[in-house]
């Protein structure tokens, strides 16, 4: 503002013996130039502040960092869960294969056991050593089962 006053006082009057005469055109030019310079200076300062000021404030940066940390933890937990799931599926597959092998071995052993029974020896042992006898016809009671596929324990046997 001081520059404007100095320029106005120097440019507004003419020097010499005559009475000073105002030159309105020069004052207007000086004033408009001063205003234009002041406006440019304000714009430069605003632009400088914009360049200096970061894009995010501290709380915004903290929120962004926290959000990224939460996302990373969630991703890590997801990967751990998927990895554990794959391990468990592999374990289940191994156990299923073991069950199949054991079922096959069990069936083979059951066939071997059935083939190894000597029914003649069992009959001889029962009749000679244990004194068992073949039942007579009147000692055998026959009955027909009902539609049920199982026999209850301690159920009554019908008498003829």
pLDDT single digits (tens) 111-143? 888 888 888 888 999 999 999 988 888 888 887
The 10s digit of each residue's pLDDT in 1-59 is 555 455 455 544 555 555 555 555 555 677 778 888 888 999 888 887 777 655 778 88
Nearby residues of 34 by Cβ (< 8 Å), 6 or more positions away: 3, 4, 7
Mean pLDDT of 94-121: 91
Model pTM score:
0.38
pLDDT of residue 52: 66
| H-assigned helices in the chain | 2-12, 24-52, 58-116, 119-124
User: Taking phi first (over 0 means left), then psi (-120 to 50 degrees means alpha), and beta for anything else, what does residue 156 get?
Assistant: beta
CB 7 within 8 A of CB 34: yes
pLDDT for 107: 92
At 149, is the pLDDT very low, low, confident or very high (cuts 50, 70, 90)?
Answer: low
Query: 31-35, 58-62, 91-95, 97-101 — which is least confidently predicted?
Result: 31-35
- Dihedral angle, C-alpha 32, 35, 37, 40, nearest 10 °: -120
27 alpha-carbon distance from chain centroid: 74
Position of tokens 């059935």?
A: 114
Residues 6 or more apart whose Cβ sits within 8 Å of residue 26: 11, 12
CA 104-106-110 angle, to 5 degrees, is 120
CA dist., res. 79 & res. 20, Å (int): 90
């Amino acid at each position: 503002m001081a520059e404007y006053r100095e320029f106005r006082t120097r440019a507004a009057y003419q020097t010499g013996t005559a009475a000073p005469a105002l030159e309105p055109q020069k004052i207007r030019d000086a004033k408009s130039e001063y205003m234009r310079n002041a406006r440019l200076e304000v714009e430069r300062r605003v632009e400088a502040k914009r360049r200096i000021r970061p894009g995010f404030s501290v709380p915004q940066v903290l929120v962004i960092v926290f959000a990224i940390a939460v996302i990373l933890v969630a991703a890590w937990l997801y990967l751990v869960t998927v990895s554990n799931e794959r391990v468990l599926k592999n374990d289940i597959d191994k156990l299923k294969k073991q069950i199949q092998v054991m079922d096959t071995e069990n069936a083979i052993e059951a066939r071997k056991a059935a083939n190894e029974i000597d029914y003649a020896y069992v009959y001889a042992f029962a009749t000679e050593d244990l004194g068992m006898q073949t039942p007579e016809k009147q000692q055998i009671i026959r009955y027909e089962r009902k539609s049920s596929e199982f026999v209850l324990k301690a159920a009554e046997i019908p008498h003829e």
